[in-house]
Amino acid sequence: MTSGVSSSQVPTSAAPAEVCDQRTDDELMSEARAGVDAAFDLLVRRHQAAVLRVAARYLGDAELAHDVAQTTFVQLFGWLPRYQPRGKFRAFLMRVALRQCAMAARTRSAARRREDAAPVADAGATPAEVALERERRRQLDRALTALSPKLRAVVVLRHCGGMSYDEVAAAMDLPVGTVKSRVFAALAKLRDALEGT
């Protein structure tokens, strides 16, 4: 099994067709509920990269992140009949993704989680630079793993998922102030862990 998270393994943005579509996520969910398969496909394409980024950083394993992303969208499809459009689709989707990440993290051993992190270096990097980058990523992954799930979730959503504090609060069903304090606490713990290594 391939472990580690490589930028070539995780998409970073939506394809051009999704960017041009002006329908909201809630409108697409309503269309999908009415049986328009293309609407759900568009939702998947629109949000797949973000779900993969969050899952990959949360889990530290690109292959498992792809599995979690697929399961997330399968669960989302199951929610079609019950989904209530409230303009917070992204928060809802990320909540589902985080639950899937937590379940996946619980089912595998901590020792297998991060030890084989793949390096992410430019093509011109020397072997020493590749080794340093690999070790830096392993340290970050170990530090993230050491965080409590509630701290890991907020920092991953905020800094790897690119979500605003308000979006993280909606996804986690928490007050914005709690999210801010958890992000601050998580970053302080990460800083301490990384400076101590």
User: What CA–CA distance (Å, rounded) separates 4 from 16?
Assistant: 28
According to CATH, what is the number of the domain 143-197?
A: 1.10.10.10
Helix (H), strand (E) at residue 45 = helix 37-59
Residue 156: closest CA among 74, 65, 70, 73: 65
For every one of its 197 residues, what pLDDT tens digit does the chain have, with 9 covering 90 and above?
444 544 444 444 444 445 567 899 999 999 999 999 999 999 999 999 999 999 998 888 888 999 999 999 999 999 899 988 888 899 999 999 999 988 888 775 444 434 444 444 556 778 888 888 888 888 888 888 888 888 988 988 888 778 889 888 888 889 999 999 999 999 899 888 888 76
pTM over 0.85: no
Question: What's the pLDDT score for residue 114?
Answer: 42
Give the pLDDT confidence score for residue 20 in this predicted structure.
63
Q: State which fold the 1-110 domain adopts.
A: Rna Polymerase Sigma Factor; Chain: A (1.10.1740)
**Environment class of residue 190 by beta-carbon count within 10 Å: exposed (0-12), middle (13-18) or buried (19+)?**
buried
Query: CA dihedral defined by 45, 145, 162, 159, rounded to 10 degrees?
Result: -160
**Where along the chain do its domains lie?**
1-110, 143-197
The pLDDT, as a whole number, for residue 110 is 42
